[in-house]
Every structure is written in C-alpha cells, then in structure tokens.
Amino acid sequence: MIRQFYLENEYGEIYYFDYRNQTLITQANGLGFALDIKYLEYDRMYAKSEFQLPMTEISETLIFLRGYQGYKAFVDYLSKSKKEHKLHYVTPAFASYTFVDVSSLSKAELISGTIQSQIIFKKLSLWIKEKTYEIIANGSSYGKVYPYQYPFIYANSYQGITHINNQGLDEAPLNIEIYGAFLNPEITVKKNGNIMQRLKLYVESEDATLTVISNPSEQVIKMIENGSTYDVYGLQDFEADNFLFVSHGEYEIEFKPGVSSTTVCRVTLFEGYVGI
C-alpha cells in the first residue's frame, strides 16, 4: 500500500485522490512543520524560551483523468461544504487527518495531455490520530448492540478501568460516550496513582447515550434518550474538570456509572502530531 490522501466534508462524504474518483496527486508539499521559536541568550549560549505553531499551507498538484468533467465534479464536491474539511493521510504505518480550508484551486489547464490543477489548503490543526478505548462496567458486552461502530478499539476493560497511552503532544482531548444506564456517572484520570482530572455529571437514565466532547472548538455535553436530544451542560459538577485532556504518556481511566447494570463507556483520544 502506498500513501493515500482523501478529503472528508462535514456530511461524511469522501473524495478519494486515486482511481476511485479518477483524480491523482503528483506532488504534495507542506506535510512537515515549521515552528516560531523564541530564544533567550545566556552568556553567549541560547535556550529556547517558547514556541508557537503558525498556520501553514499544504499544496498539491491534481491530475483529473476524466478531464474537465472530473475537474467540475471536484469543484462541485468542494462547493457543498460550508465548513472545514478533514484531509486524511494514510500509509501502512500511520493514519491521521488534519482540518483544512481550501485556500485556492487554480483553473484547469491542459499539461502533457492531462487536465491539471493546483490546490492549496490552509492547515487549521495538528495532524490528529484517533484511538478508541472501551470500558465495560458491571458485566459483559455479549449480545448487546451499540449504535456506533469503530474501526479499531485499542483496549477493552470489563472491570471499570482501562489504560490509555498518548504518544502525541500534550493537551490531547478525550471525548466520552456512555451507553446504557447511569446515575451521576463519574470518570477519573490517574497517573502513577495520582488523580489528574475528573468528570462528574448529575444525570440519570435507565437507557440513554451520554456524550462529552472536549475538543476546544466544540465543547458539548448532551444526552440522547428515547430519540430526543437534551443539552445537559448545566448538569455537570462545576468543581470537576469535565472536559478532559491528557499530556504525553500513560494514564489509567476509571469509569463509575453509579448503577449495577452493564454500562459501556467509550473514550476517544485525539493524539496530535506536528508533522507526518
């Protein structure tokens, strides 16, 4: 398998840069990183004092094997979206995505017998790799069907505890999904036996889906019960952290649903990388 790129819009629609869409990439630049670094001088020696990750660009040369018709189809795909896209990058060793805005798309030109165009993306985030961990409290998952499917689960736990490993940068968000019954559920993040962060919600249900999105641009706490969606942001314990983040390293996650019946908690870790 060679490296693969594809775009995903907010509707989950995919545009593959390969023979599935008859669109190929001949060049891809800007996959690395550039840092804005400030240094302090100490007696003719320099030490890094701080750094920032500025907004950068990713540029690609596209070849449309279907000619102008293929170029028009790609323009129509881009025109559907009113939000940023996910640009996915997949290799045999690594799969990640970054949020991008399309900055420019040059007009279609006939070059060496093919229709080509230059596209430039504004890179809006780190390269993100998702890891999903599952905690099953008070029982087994045998015979129970859950509403979402995940391509891979890194760790299972039937004892209310699992361990996660953030191999990316610090401040990686954790999104939480709880399925089943719960009464004032609580999640604790520990490192070396010490409590680092805690989530506590004052909500109750015999069968519902509870979601906590920690991503800084979209922090949400909601519950879906009997087909209705409720905003339960105001039902959090405001003395707890609730929107959870972890630094680089290994952590223990403990889930307490507050009930004796089987309840599932899925933890999604968003690892961040400056380059790929």
CA 84/CA 9 separation, integer angstroms: 7
Instruction: Mark whether 240 and 209 lie in a shared domain.
Output: yes
Q: Please give the pLDDT value at position 73.
A: 96
The domain total for the chain is: 2
Q: What is the pLDDT of residues 130-151, one digit of tens each?
A: 999 999 887 554 434 444 555 5
Domain boundary among 75, 96, 125: 125
Q: In the structure encoding, which two tokens stand for residue 13, read together?
A: 């629609």
Same structural domain, 223 and 111 = no
pLDDT band for position 7 (cuts 50, 70, 90)? very high
Q: Which of 125, 160, 192 is the last residue of a domain?
A: 125
Verify that 97 and 167 share a domain, yes or no: no
Tell me, what CATH number does 58's domain have?
A: 2.40.30.200
- Give me the pLDDT at residue 146, please: 46
Q: Of the candidates 68, 31, 33, which has an alpha carbon nearest to the alpha carbon of residue 52?
A: 33
CA distance 204 to 220: 18
- The reply to whether 237 and 135 lie within a common domain is yes
Do 162 and 67 share a structural domain? no
Sign of CA dihedral 230, 234, 235, 239: positive
Claim to verify: residue 120 and residue 140 sit in the same structural domain: no
Domain of 55, in residue numbers: 4-125
Q: Which of 86, 101, 125 is the last residue of a domain?
A: 125
Lowest mean pLDDT among 171-180, 204-213, 256-265: 256-265
pLDDT for the residue 265: 95
Regarding pTM above 0.75, the answer is yes
